[in-house]
Amino acid sequence: MSAPSGGPGVPTGVSAGVAVYDRCSGTFAERLAPDARFRSASVVKLLIALDHLWDRGPVDGLPPADRTRLAAMLASSDDSAAGHFWERNGGTGVITRMVSRLGLTGTAGPPPRFPGHWGYSAVTAADVVRVWRHLLDDAPPAQREAVLGPLRRATRYGTDGFDQFFGIPSAFARPWAVKQGWSGYPPAARPTGVSGTGVDLRRPALHTTGAVGPGDRAVVAVLTLHPPGTPYAEAGAAVTEITRSLRVPGAVLL
C-alpha cells in the first residue's frame, strides 16, 4: 500500500502512515495507511534493543557498557550504539527474529545492497504500534523498564545534534515516552528510487512514535516522507501538525 500524500491533517506533498491505538478500549482511534511501508530511520532502534535483551536474563546482569549504549541509543538516538548492537547481533538477523517473535507483517530488513544500513529497514505504522504494545503489555518488567526508562527521558537533542522534540513531544504534555526517527538530513547524496521492499529511499523521512497519557493509554505512530529539500525544522513542524490533528485518548494538547 502506498502512503497517501495530503489528506486529513497531512500537509500537501507529505506522505504519511498513521496509527493511534487506545489501550483502554482495545481499539484504534486513528488509522491512515497503517500498512504503508516507510524506511525506519531510528525507529528500528526499538527492535534492536528488544532483540538484544530478549534472551539475556536479568537486565542488571548486562555489562555496564551494554547498559550505557542501550540508554544512549534510546534516549538520545545514538547511531554508533545502534551500529554496535546491529553488527554484534547479526545485522538483518535482528529484524528476522523480531518479525517472527512479534508477528510483524510489514517489517523487513534493509535492501541487500545496504546490509549495514539498519535505518533502511522497512516498517509500517501498524507494526510500530505492535512493537509498542509488546513493550507495554508483554515484555518482562525488567526489560520493559530498561527500554521505556530511557524513552521517557528522551533528550531534547540526539547525539547527532538534531532536535528530536517534534511530533509527540511538541504536541502533548507529559507523561509520554518516545522513539523518534529521521533520515535524509543533512541532505547528502541519497539512493534513488524504491527498495525491493517498497521503501522510498529518496525523500527525507521523519517519524514520531510513542506512548502518550497517564498509564501510557495511547500508542501513537506517525511515519512521514517529505519533498526533497524540505528543511528539517519545516518537516518537524509538519509532523507536529499531523500529530496535533489526531484523536489521541488520554493526551493533553500543549
- On whether residue 1 sits in a domain, the answer given is no
Which pLDDT score, from 0 to 100, does residue 57 have? 72
- On whether residue 38 sits in a domain, the answer given is yes
Domain with 201 in it: what CATH number?
Answer: 3.40.710.10
Which pLDDT score, from 0 to 100, does residue 8 have? 67
Per the structure, the count of domains in the chain is 1
- On whether residue 4 sits in a domain, the answer given is no
> Terminus-to-terminus CA distance in the chain, angstroms?
33
Could you tell me the three cell numbers for 54?
Answer: 530478549
pLDDT digits over 33-78, tens only? 999 999 999 999 999 999 999 988 777 788 999 999 999 999 999 9
Is it true that the peptide bond before 64 is cis, omega within 30 degrees of 0?
no
- On whether residue 173 sits in a domain, the answer given is yes
Which pLDDT score, from 0 to 100, does residue 56 have? 82
Residues 6 or more apart whose CB falls under 8 angstroms from that of 65 comprise none
- On whether residue 74 sits in a domain, the answer given is yes
Task: Concatenate the DSSP letters of all residues of the chain into one string.
Answer: -PPPBS-TT--TT-EEEEEEEETTTTEEEEEESTT--EE-GGGGHHHHHHHHHTTS--GGGS-HHHHHHHHHHHHS--HHHHHHHHHHTTTTHHHHHHHHHHT-SS-B---TT-TT-GGG-EE-HHHHHHHHHIIIIIS-HHHHHHHHHHHHT--SB-TTS-B--SSHHHHBPSSEEEEEEEES-S------SB-TTS-B-SS-EEEEEEEESGGG-EEEEEEEE--TT--HHHHHHHHHHHHHTS--TT--B-
User: Against a cut of 0.75, is the pTM above it?
Assistant: yes
Burial class (CB in 10 A: 0-12, 13-18, 19+), 253: exposed
Q: Which domain holds residue 107?
A: 15-244
Length of the chain: 254
Give the bridge partners for 18, in sequence order.
Answer: 32, 222
Q: Which residues of the chain have pLDDT under 70?
A: 1-2, 4, 6-8, 187-196
